[in-house]
Amino acid sequence: MTLNIILLIVGSVMVFLAGLEAMYEYQIYVVGRPEQTRDTIIGNIYLPEIPPNDPGVKASAYAGFAVAGAGILLCGFSLAIIAVDRFMQQRGEHDPLDAETPTGDLR
């Protein structure tokens, strides 16, 4: 795997996960969240009520959208590197997998 493919995968994961988190936080910011208690394997978890238009939730949503935007930029940068690499391979000027390495005869 080359570095540009790794950057593309990391950027895609960033966009997906940060986008989901940002959408969830923005939904809480717009609508609010009622008081609730959840039963989990580690016990009960109390989630307090969050009123609509809470500035802390708004900041969290904007941070999630910013991270998703950084993931989009990372994907775009990676795709640009891939396009330039393929273009140069077609022209025959650059083929990193076909580079000759000196073996050296040690006799």
Please check the confidence at residue 30 and state whether its pLDDT lies above 90: yes
Which pLDDT does position 98 carry in this prediction?
56
Domain assignment of residue 83, given as a range: 3-91
Q: Which residues have a Cβ under 8 Å from the Cβ of 43 and sit 6 or more positions away?
A: none
Which pLDDT does position 102 carry in this prediction?
54
Give a yes or no: residue 105 inside a domain: no
Give a yes or no: residue 48 inside a domain: yes
Counted domains in the chain: 1
Give a yes or no: residue 43 inside a domain: yes
Number of H helices, E strands in the chain: 2, 2
Give a yes or no: residue 52 inside a domain: yes
Going by pLDDT thresholds of 50, 70 and 90, the confidence category of residue 95 is low
Which pLDDT does position 89 carry in this prediction?
79
Give a yes or no: residue 64 inside a domain: yes
Q: What is the pLDDT of residues 34-55, one digit of tens each?
A: 999 999 999 999 999 999 999 9
